[in-house]
Amino acid sequence: MNIAEEIFLRADPQAVAVIEKGVSWTYGDLDRRSQEISEELPSKGVKATRPLIGLRGPDGMNYLALALGILRSGACLVPLAVELSPAEREAQVATLALDAVITVDTTADPLNLFSLEKVENKKLLECWEALEELNPAFIRFSSGTTGAAKGIVLSHEALRDRIEAANSGLKIGPEDRILWVLSMAHHFVVSILLYLWNGAAVVLPETHLPGDILAAGRDHHATVFYAAPCHYIFLTSGNEECAWPSLRLAVSTSAPLQPETAAQFSSRFGVPPIQALGIMEVGLPFLNNSDPVTRCASVGTPQAGFQVQIRDAEGNQVREGEHGELFLKGPGMFDAYVAPWRTREEVTRPDGWFSTGDIATEDSGGFITIIGRSKTVINVGGMKFFPEEVELVLCSHPEVLEARVVGIPHPIFGWVPVAEVVKSPQGALTPYTLVSLCRKQLARYKLPVEIRFVETIPRTPSGKISRI
């Protein structure tokens, strides 16, 4: 199957698919534009049997048309977030051996939606034959670009199963209009595709300022708001007009939503926001749509088809209320990791359960609450990365002896990185120098908000950097 083709077979061609800056495209418009792109790619030299194509550019109508066109062509879509530095982008292009990179144009002319750069002298992935057998639709790095990061492969079939499982709780339908404020590169496969699969419309505000978000919600009768905690904070901290009568569902994802923010949003708009937990390898296993008020800190109970276990360090299930690592099974799970290649079966051996790396508890009602992370990944407003890649950049400076990067809680973005650095006593190193170095090589959300010079970096008995 081809997920993009199926979307247009299901859709009403006269229904609105996307609204941006006062311009509306129907599903028929989006169908034609994406088909034009699909047919144009071979003429631009993309002629591999199943090419891997990177997509980079701002969110919008053109991004949607290009993403769907890439999928319809039989290629595998690889989003390259605009936040990535040139070095990070080049690393992803090389690691995945992309055939081409498409950059979104801002023009509305469907014949000039993009520029395409073929990747010359690329090396074929060693796992190419195994990858091709999966019917791959989508690859995205889980975080970072170092060896610790993993390119997550999702087949067309996995996408379909993931979308249908996620919508068991969201219940998105053709009557819905979703106000979109997240990054399409980071949240495409279980969000944007889910909306289009179910015939809904995607509404893009002029900016992410509270006034523009609310204006778009009111003017276009948006029914669903799917956002990060920072967006809820923005909407509850100003004095903007609060009427949003069409809103029926508000979902918070990527980081915990503080109870006071949830209460303020509910008071202003009459809709209590519900917590959701999305995991790139798994999909949307949790959605707290059954008790978002009294259990506002919980991500809810498992969605239909998902199984949950919370285990201690020895792999045994913990008792009710105790902390442990969250393990999951369910529909639409990832098919493989690429570079290095590992199938889902290899990752989830011996029992088929996927370790999320989240520390969680379960109460008597089966509600799951996320306490923290067992792994090192840092989540800044829904964009994740490993601290090791920031440490690598810091330690490239000749006056840095060693470094540790940790995430600290932030009231808006969930977490932000802070760096501890041991510097050479002979040098004159300053925090500004190190931040400038990071800015040249890393995406902005990975930049340390503070550089702390310390005497030593804490280590485990085995000599590894302590992450506690």
pLDDT value at position 240? 64
CA distances from 176 to 66, 149, 173, 276 (A): 23, 35, 6, 19
Write phi, then psi, for 111 (nearest 5 degrees): -85, -5
∠ Cα 354 360 364 (to 5°): 110
Q: Could you give the 3-state DSSP secondary structure of residue 202?
A: strand
Residue with tokens 């105790």: 322
Q: What is the pLDDT of residue 459?
A: 66
Looking at residue 144, what is its pLDDT?
Answer: 39
Go through 185-212 and write b for each residue having 16 or more CB atoms within 10 A of its CB, e for each that does not: bbbbbbbbbbbbbbbbbbbbbeeeebbe
Q: Starting at the earlier edge strand, list the strands of the sheet with 336-338.
A: 114-118, 100-104, 52-56, 76-79, 136-141, 151-155, 336-338, 342-343
- For the chain, the residue count is 468
For 200-241, the pLDDT digits (tens) are 999 999 998 899 999 999 999 999 999 988 889 889 877 666
> Tokens 């006269």, residue?
14
Q: In what helix (H) or strand (E) does residue 156 lie, and over which residues does it extend? A: helix 156-170
> At 248, phi and psi to the nearest 5?
-120, -25
| Residues of the chain below pLDDT 70 | 48, 106-113, 121-124, 143-149, 239-241, 372-375, 459-464, 467-468
CA distance 185 to 241: 31
pTM of whole model > 0.85? no
CATH class for the domain made up of 378-453: alpha beta
Secondary structure E strands in 1-110: 16-20, 23-26, 52-56, 76-79, 100-104
pLDDT of residue 145: 33
Contact, 382 vs 186, CB < 8 A? yes
Q: What pLDDT sits at residue 129? A: 87
What is the CATH topology of the domain spanning 3-358? Rossmann fold (3.40.50)
Beta-bridge mates of residue 420:
404, 452
Residue 216 in contact with residue 241, Cβ under 8 Å?
Answer: no
Tokens for 347? Answer: 């990752």
> Which residue from 330, 189, 195 is spatially nearest to 249, judged by alpha carbons?
195
Helices and strands of the chain, counted as H and E runs:
13, 26
Tell me the average pLDDT of the chain.
Answer: 89
| Strand ranges, E, within 105-254 | 114-118, 136-141, 151-155, 177-180, 201-204, 224-227, 249-252
Domain locations along the chain: 3-358, 378-453
CA distance 359 to 45: 47
- Residue 308 bridge partners (DSSP): 328
- Determine the pLDDT at residue 105: 76
Q: Long-range CB contacts (< 8 A, 24+ apart) of 37-43? A: 37/65, 37/66, 37/68, 37/69, 37/70, 37/72, 37/73, 37/113, 37/114, 38/69, 38/70, 38/72, 38/73, 39/73, 40/69, 41/69, 41/70, 41/73, 41/75, 41/116, 42/73
Helix (H) or strand (E) holding 274: strand 274-279
Q: 111: how many CB neighbours lie within 10 A of its CB?
A: 9
